[in-house]
Amino acid sequence: MKAKAQRTLLTLLRQQFETWPEDAVSADKWIDPEMANQLRQRVDRISPLIGRVRAFGELFVGMANGPFLLIMKADEPARFLEFADENPTHEVFITFESAASQPDQRESRYQTIVRPALQPEAYRLTFGLPKILEDQILLDENRGIRLAPGVKKRFLSEITVYRRAGERDVIYRLVYTPQRRHDPVPLSDGSADQPI
């Protein structure tokens, strides 16, 4: 019974997110009619979330050096893809900023920012760290964001980004490189991303 409910719920969610494969067996064959109405009510309750996810456009899934996935959002997905397609493996700077000004970052107090080291303005990816990792690596909140030594190298030294493009899988490797503390990343608006 539990397996039927899970299968039905996953099918309804895939229909909502429009991720059901066009050439697959009809989704209706995976939906248990007895459970469908009750489960549709659950899916309807999360429809505002589905709308917010759609508003993001494309999200990217990354795997870091740990037992977790990173869901990353590009400010401009096309710019990230253009740069990453030309440079499938490239070095990146990683910085952190308070998520207080980021209402979508409910689970994380800080937002992680990834930029290409050679062209910091080419793209910007952001993600929240899993709470357990955030608690381990971020120190003294009274003095601002401060990382335990070697944390970026240990947990974020390589982020592998997976993407499905048509019929092929694409993999990008983002390799962390440290910034010198006195060299902020210049941005076009005149501000600078301070290395942490």
Taking 90 as the threshold, does the pLDDT of residue 15 lie above it? no
State the pLDDT at residue 86.
Answer: 97
Position 105 confidence tier, pLDDT thresholds 50, 70, 90:
very low
Residue that wins the pLDDT comparison between 15 and 130: 15
Percent of the chain residues past pLDDT 90, beyond the cut: 27
- For residues 6 and 100, membership in a common domain is answered with no
Residue that wins the pLDDT comparison between 193 and 41: 41
- For residues 92 and 36, membership in a common domain is answered with no
Distance from C-alpha of 100 to C-alpha of 142, rounded to nearest angstrom: 14
Distance from C-alpha of 194 to C-alpha of 181, rounded to nearest angstrom: 8
Q: Which domain holds residue 179?
A: 58-193
Distance from C-alpha of 39 to C-alpha of 119, rounded to nearest angstrom: 47
- For residues 18 and 91, membership in a common domain is answered with no
Angle at 166 between CA 164 and CA 172, to 5 degrees: 35
- For residues 96 and 185, membership in a common domain is answered with yes
State the pLDDT at residue 4.
Answer: 82
| Each residue's pLDDT tens digit, 62-75 | 998 877 788 899 99
Position 47 confidence tier, pLDDT thresholds 50, 70, 90:
confident
Overall average pLDDT of the 185-192 stretch? 51
Angle at 122 between CA 119 and CA 123, to 5 degrees: 125
- For residues 123 and 62, membership in a common domain is answered with yes
- For residues 125 and 158, membership in a common domain is answered with yes
Q: In the chain, count H helices and then E strands.
A: 6, 9
- For residues 67 and 93, membership in a common domain is answered with yes
- For residues 101 and 170, membership in a common domain is answered with yes
Taking the whole predicted model, whether its pTM rises above 0.95 is answered as: no
Angle at 154 between CA 108 and CA 61, to 5 degrees: 55
- Cβ atoms of 185 and 94 closer than 8 Å: no
| Winning range, highest mean pLDDT, from 63-67, 84-88, 97-101 | 84-88
| Each residue's pLDDT tens digit, 122-131 | 999 998 876 6
State the pLDDT at residue 43.
Answer: 81
- For residues 82 and 162, membership in a common domain is answered with yes
State the pLDDT at residue 25.
Answer: 81
